[in-house]
Amino acid sequence: MVSEELLEILRCPACVQTREGTLEYFRKAWLVCQECGRKYPIRDDIPVMLIDEGDKWVDIDQEDLPVPPPEA
């Protein structure tokens, strides 16, 4: 489980330079950017905050995200 303190400071790396980059904690397995729609998996309690990883899931509907996220 990702700590509340970490969730409060994490931002979407693609958006943070120009926008807020607010992330929503989804099903304890994903962080979803509320601005660009990128989705970052959480593997072994570690958020994978790479833009390339978020790009892989941007066109997948939030409800269709696999839980747990697949391994890279």
Domain chopping of the chain, boundaries: 4-64
pLDDT of residue 28: 95
CATH match for 4-64 among 2.60.40, 2.20.25, 2.30.30, 1.20.1260:
2.20.25
User: What percentage of residues in the chain have a pLDDT greater than 90?
Assistant: 92
pLDDT of residue 53: 97
The string of DSSP letters for the chain reads: ---HHHHHH---TTTTTTS---EEEETTTEEEETTT--EEEEETTEE---HHHHHHTTTS-GGG--SSPPP-
* Low pLDDT (below 50) residues in the chain: none
pLDDT of residue 52: 97
Q: What is the pTM of this model?
A: 0.93
pLDDT of residue 72: 74
Which burial class, exposed, middle or buried, applies to 40 when counting CB atoms under 10 A from its CB (0-12, 13-18, 19+)?
Answer: buried
